[in-house]
Amino acid sequence: MPIPRQPTIVSRRFTPLKGSFPWLLPIVLVLLFLAILIWLPWQAQRMEANERQEQLIADTLWVEQALQFQFTRNQENLSLIGQEFINKPGEATTLNERLRLFATSNHEIQQLALFDKHQQLIVGTLSALNEQNQRETLRQSYLQLPELQLQSSKSQCLRTTAQSNITKDSMICRFPILLNGEVAGNLFATYRLQTLLDETVPWWFAQENEITLLDADEKVIAKRTAGGPGKNVYTHNRALELPQLSFTLHTNSIKTEPKLLSNLLVLSVVLLSLGLVWSLIALWRDINRRLRAEGALRKEAAFRAAMENSLVTGLRARDMEGRLTYVNPSFCNMIGVPAEELVGRLPPMPYWAPEVKEEYEQRFAQILTGTVQPEAYETIYQRANGERFPVLIHESPLVDEHGKQTGWMSSILDVSELKRAEELSRQHEEKLHANARLATMGEMASMLAHELNQPLAAISSYTTGALNLLEQQGSDPSLLHAALEKARAQAQRAGQVIKSVHEFVRKRETARVPLQLEELLHSVMPLVELQAHSAHIHVQLDIEARLPTVLADKVLLEQVVLNLTRNAIEAMQNTPFEQRQLQIIARQIPGEASGFDTTPRVQIQIIDRGHGISQEIAESLFSPFFSTKSSGMGMGLNICRTAIEFHGGNLSHRANPQGGTIFEFSLAASTSTET
């Protein structure tokens, strides 16, 4: 190349361009526009192709997950059925029906068979299994597979060859039934792979893609071509992992490469019809929103209707005038009146009991005027046959979308059985307490006879002396008066003991009334001293002055104090005589500062100097029928704890620092508003 001539050539070429530059710019712009016009459809074509490939991958992943979900759900349901049979082996007929129903509901399952841990066939879904030879054939077809691991606790799936009742495009899955970590049986499920593909793959995906299930050797096992064969333009492979078995899910789209000419035409139509398309899109979006809202509303209504119909609680709705607008089946069954006779009806209602009709009308009038707020309350309803039954009613206002109240919704619960159960429980508990009191007095019978014998002997002695004074002429009247006074005192002493026993053992209704614990302790002291005297135990009663009253049942608390003192006395049988001391302390303590209830409480402590309670005995101390005494029934402390919990307290114990045990409980002080 001759370098010296280069400048001359350049100068000659630039000379004509100076005059044509204004014409060159429009040409460049036109060419640029045409290039962009050609590039945009080509780019749109490539983007569309990429989007199709990405969509195919995403849809293939979705199909793979759908297959995995269907298999996992079947595995969980079948394992649950097998586990229930292992726990209840006597229900083979029910299990067989459940397996048949499961196979009918899941078309991809060809047959099911359950074997026990001895590899014996229990049930199967084929009707031919009623014959012994068919059962043996089925058992061998499953259990003689070479790759099968019957003792493994993990699930296992195997490909099958052509066998009896099992097609070649199937697979067998073994689901072990575990009991305490051991294999207690195996449940086999034979899957039709073609049916699994047909049932699980959605129709919209099958219309646009050819779906093929391949084995490890890339051989076709099942294929679905609802929309025709694939074009091999957009393809994707996805691994389908099953227990110890893998497949390949191959998807081949029936779409071809996007065409450039069609994109240009679509672009032109879009540009010319932008306004129309925008209006159509807006209309479609509005219609779609309405359809979704209506579908959601129908679904919600169906869900709520199913939920309300399944409730055992009665439901009713009333408008602002008291007219019934809705009742559920449970409410109709409760009162024995069909819904057609209730909906739209104004008060009075057919389920109102005549004796409380005025109460219904008054309460409803108060709700309408806003005098009372709807809340839970109990009342009496009557059935269609005239039977009365108690109900518990909860009411809440019905509010529309604008926040305006349109009526009330009520839930009605029949509490007849609850009331009967509470009454039976109360009678049983009362009988238990009465028997415990009688048992206590039976144990005290000998001491009671000894205690009464002393005043009776003294009365006899004093009356004999009085008779002798009367026979003596000129005797001092003051001596006669003193003898009679002493006889009367002894008679009062015996009467007090008998009265205490009578008050303790007599049958009565349990009732909590305002009670002074000081009076209660003094009334039970004769019985406590009666037991302590025979055991040579000194009783010390320490009561704080001006204790507040408590709401309690006197007889129940007397029984608690008497049982605890008797246990304390028995615990000190081997205690040295100088240390045999029984303390009964009553004092006021503050409420729990950290809780919601800060009401002052009255605490009672029973303190002994006995042998104490070991850790082993303490764990079962309050358990029913637990006793350390050979003649005891083991119900004393359990009854005491039940009685204290009935009063809202808690019975506890701890070691006495001086030796022995301290039993204590506390009751809330009565307020002025309690009755």
Task: Please give the pLDDT value at position 195.
Answer: 87
Can you give the pTM of this predicted structure?
0.36
Q: pLDDT grade, residue 607 (50/70/90)?
A: very high
Task: Please give the pLDDT value at position 391.
Answer: 86
Task: Give the range with max mean pLDDT: 148-162, 324-338, 525-539.
Answer: 324-338
Domain map (residue ranges) of the chain: 27-257, 281-310, 312-414, 416-509, 511-675
Q: Compute the residue count for the chain.
A: 675
**Whether residue 333 has pLDDT greater than 90:** no
Q: Among 102-111, 473-482, 563-572, 635-644, which is the least confidently predicted range?
A: 473-482
**Whether residue 228 has pLDDT greater than 90:** no
In the block, tokens 């799936």 appear at: 157
Q: Higher-confidence residue: 245 or 21?
A: 245
Q: Higher-confidence residue: 626 or 31?
A: 31
**Whether residue 510 has pLDDT greater than 80:** no
**Whether residue 504 has pLDDT greater than 60:** no
511-675: same fold as 312-414? Answer: no
**3-class SS at 604?**
strand
For helices 554-571 and 636-646, give the axis angle rounded to 10 degrees. 140
Cβ 103 vs Cβ 112: under 8 Å: yes
Examine residue 657 and say whether the peptide bond preceding it is cis (omega within 30 degrees of 0): no
**Whether residue 43 has pLDDT greater than 90:** no
At the topology level of CATH, where does 27-257 sit?
Beta-Lactamase (3.30.450)
- Mean of the per-residue pLDDT values of the chain: 76
Distance between CA atoms of residues 20 and 354, nearest Å: 112
Based on its alpha-carbon atoms, the radius of gyration of the chain, rounded to whole angstroms, reads 47
Distance between CA atoms of residues 288 and 582, nearest Å: 85
Q: Among 116-130, 459-473, 492-506, 564-578, which is the least confidently predicted range?
A: 492-506
Predicted confidence (pLDDT) per residue in 168-206, tens digit:
678 889 889 888 888 888 888 888 888 888 888 888 888
Q: How far is CA 576 from the centre of its chain?
A: 56
Strand partners, 182: 179
Strand partners, 395: 410
The secondary structure of residue 355, as a DSSP letter, is: G
Both tokens assigned to 650: 């808690």
Q: Higher-confidence residue: 113 or 494?
A: 113
CATH of 416-509, one of 2.30.30, 1.10.287, 2.60.40, 1.10.30: 1.10.287
Dihedral pair phi/psi, residue 573, rounded to 5°: -65, -35
**Whether residue 573 has pLDDT greater than 50:** yes
Task: Please give the pLDDT value at position 640.
Answer: 80
**Whether residue 284 has pLDDT greater than 80:** no
The secondary structure element, H or E, covering residue 330 is: helix 329-335
**3-class SS at 658?**
coil
Task: Please give the pLDDT value at position 5.
Answer: 41
Distance between CA atoms of residues 658 and 361, nearest Å: 67
For helices 6-87 and 260-272, give the axis angle rounded to 10 degrees. 90
Furthest CA-CA distance within the chain: 185
Distance between CA atoms of residues 419 and 211, nearest Å: 64
DSSP labels, 130-180: GSHHHHHHHHHHHHT-TT--TT-SS-EEEE--SBTTB-TTEEEEEEEEEET
Q: Give the Å distances, CA to CA, from 260 to 5, 263, 571.
A: 49, 5, 105
Q: How far apart are the first and last CA of the chain?
A: 125
Task: Please give the pLDDT value at position 34.
Answer: 61
Task: Please give the pLDDT value at position 624.
Answer: 52
Distance between CA atoms of residues 618 and 634, nearest Å: 13
CATH entry 3.30.450.20 includes domain 312-414: yes
**Whether residue 587 has pLDDT greater than 90:** yes
Give the CATH superfamily of 511-675.
Histidine kinase-like ATPase, C-terminal domain (3.30.565.10)
Q: pLDDT grade, residue 420 (50/70/90)?
A: confident
Q: Is 562 exposed, middle or buried (0-12, 13-18, 19+ CB in 10 A)?
A: buried
Q: What is the mean pLDDT of residues 55-81?
A: 88
Distance between CA atoms of residues 109 and 168, nearest Å: 14
Residues 6+ apart with CB under 8 A from 386: none
